[in-house]
Chains A and B, each alone.
Chain A
């Protein structure tokens, strides 16, 4: 009955045995084969949303999906490829949102400045946290990001003159080109579509690049990789900073699409939910993020009729999915391949 080595070793570097993604590297899975093409078609179809419907609500779901996708894909990079858990992703998200919001609402600077400002702010903070923490092996990133998120929540609530406090930040100026303002869901959608597309493309290239290869080597054996000259700390720091800046970008786009933000959207429970979405979609899988973002956006809408029971169903669903597909919903593709070609499993 006992299976030695089954339960992971608590003393190991990271709590995740790092996944090796098939989409970015090879093409041995179902998704790996049809994935890229299907994904491109899906992405082009997505752009049509604001043009085929005048229903602001449906477009806003598209906007939410794109923001969630950026958040979940970046967190997935950290968890799935670095094996590091962050409990503060919503903190970076909020940092980006408030940076961009304050730039335009309080300092009256052109809202476009918010885009680089929020990315840079989030990346800087990530580096600041990462330098002391990522040198250590263990759960230190989880602890540090949890603390970071808690500190930010306090600041969002208490720095009332800057953030508007618990009632939220009002008066954010919309992005625009001259007099054409991106002040409705339909008008800002193409910008989000572009940004999220670039992020997804960038992540795909990153995974295939030298950094991606180094991460995979580290995943195999950190010791072996280091003896070959891979600087584990440096790569983890790069990925963490990148993760933070993508979340910051998502935050900027979030506040520009709502022209409002309040602290409760960025507290640690949101960080946990994002983590759950990475898990459900499929951690360490490129398409896992897409599935995770779809679930995160659609689940509340679909489960709404269940009213009070919706979180119960969600929790139970999450447990069942992970029990049967430990690599999340993206793992269903693998299972399908195994059924299809049992001999080569």
Chain B
């Protein structure tokens, strides 16, 4: 009975602190809130992205903080659930009263749900997710910025490659998540602008059989397949394309969401002929020395390895850079949120491991097309295949 009463007391105590979130605010600290999914279906991305934030925050604090003010970092796991993320965003905004939100659940759908809340509360939000709609139309997203490249630009980069190789008939095989469907929408625009003959197919992220879709793509006479997913179904795509012999005849390309060593190892020989649209991070050491991003990648790679004892990937860079973007703006804007927002908009030619960021009042996703390269997988690593 005693233990039960103890449990109840502990439970009540936890409820109280849990609900009220009594957290003593360190005097003169900058509060940054982060929402990422480190559990649920998107978890395999979330952990890397969380570690990226962690590394950046620790580095900044060790170096004395932002103008002498330490970062007080608050992290919530959105569990790949939009509802969970909405509650957490409310908590960050009205309970924890953060100065900035960095990271939107590593799912475009979640970032899209958080964006209007940040907008309404006038809190700067740097999304580390992909979909263009997160920051567009900019008129309704004055407070929302994005540290990833727009699908529109990535698809244009792919079209550059198709032009070079004389490929005209292109199939987009996108998953039904926000990530895939966002690309499907942009692909219609880009295909028209670049005069490509487009074929559209989709699959559910949980699908284990893509033979029907691949059969139709083959019968339609596609010359290349662009696969848009971050889920293991992308490995199934590779395996079954190989099974149908498509890897011999067609150009297979995965999007930047699939640049993961783990996936390449799972795909094995099916990834031998694959190209990936990637940020430069995965092939940092193979970039020409003239590329200003190269040393940034080397620094982050070394620091991350020292801290976490594993090799970082571009998802680490995505959030790591976002924190440094936040730092730059917070240093300039101080305690005035509107000034911080304006400072973010004013960031120009900012060199980072993901590439070169330039924001403007009209443009809230800061990476240009030139930050995308094509890579392949050989000898157990990513290699530069097509540079600008």
Binding site for B on A (CB under 8 A): 54-58, 60-61, 64, 157-158, 160, 165-168, 170, 185, 258-260, 262, 264-265, 298, 300-302, 304-305, 307-308, 311
CB-CB under 8 A from B14, the residues of chain A are 302
**Beta-carbon contact of A264 and B81 below 8 Å:** yes
Binding site for A on B (CB under 8 A): 11, 14-15, 18-21, 38-39, 76-77, 80-84, 86-87, 90-91, 93-95, 108-109, 112-113, 116, 131, 133, 176-178, 180-182
CB-CB under 8 A from A301, the residues of chain B are 18-19, 87
Give, as a whole number of angstroms, the nearest-CB distance from A233 to chain B.
36
Of A64, A157, A165, the most chain B CB neighbours within 10 A belong to A165
Give, as a whole number of angstroms, the nearest-CB distance from B80 to chain A.
7
CB-CB under 8 A from B90, the residues of chain A are 56-57, 60, 185
19 inter-chain pairs at a CB distance below 8 angstroms, sorted by A residue, are A56-B94, A58-B95, A160-B181, A166-B178, A167-B108, A167-B133, A167-B178, A167-B182, A168-B82, A168-B112, A170-B112, A260-B116, A265-B81, A298-B18, A301-B18, A302-B15, A302-B18, A304-B18, A311-B39
Give, as a whole number of angstroms, the nearest-CB distance from A269 to chain B.
9
- Provide the bound-state CA to CA distance between A311 and B176, in Å: 27
**Beta-carbon contact of B86 and A260 below 8 Å:** yes
- Provide the bound-state CA to CA distance between A32 and B350, in Å: 67
CB-CB under 8 A from A54, the residues of chain B are 94
**Beta-carbon contact of B39 and A308 below 8 Å:** yes
CB-CB under 8 A from B131, the residues of chain A are 167
**Beta-carbon contact of A55 and B95 below 8 Å:** yes
- Provide the bound-state CA to CA distance between A302 and B90, in Å: 16
Of A64, A258, A262, A302, the most chain B CB neighbours within 10 A belong to A262
- Provide the bound-state CA to CA distance between A277 and B97, in Å: 31
CB-CB under 8 A from B38, the residues of chain A are 307-308
Give, as a whole number of angstroms, the nearest-CB distance from B365 to chain A.
16
Give, as a whole number of angstroms, the nearest-CB distance from A192 to chain B.
15
With A260-B116, A301-B19: A265-B181 Cβ-Cβ less than 8 Å:
no
Given known contacts A57-B87, A264-B81, A308-B39, what 6 new A-B pairs fall within 8 Å (CB)?
Answer: A55-B95, A57-B94, A165-B181, A167-B109, A302-B14, A302-B19
CB-CB under 8 A from A260, the residues of chain B are 86, 113, 116
- Provide the bound-state CA to CA distance between A259 and B182, in Å: 21
Give, as a whole number of angstroms, the nearest-CB distance from B127 to chain A.
13
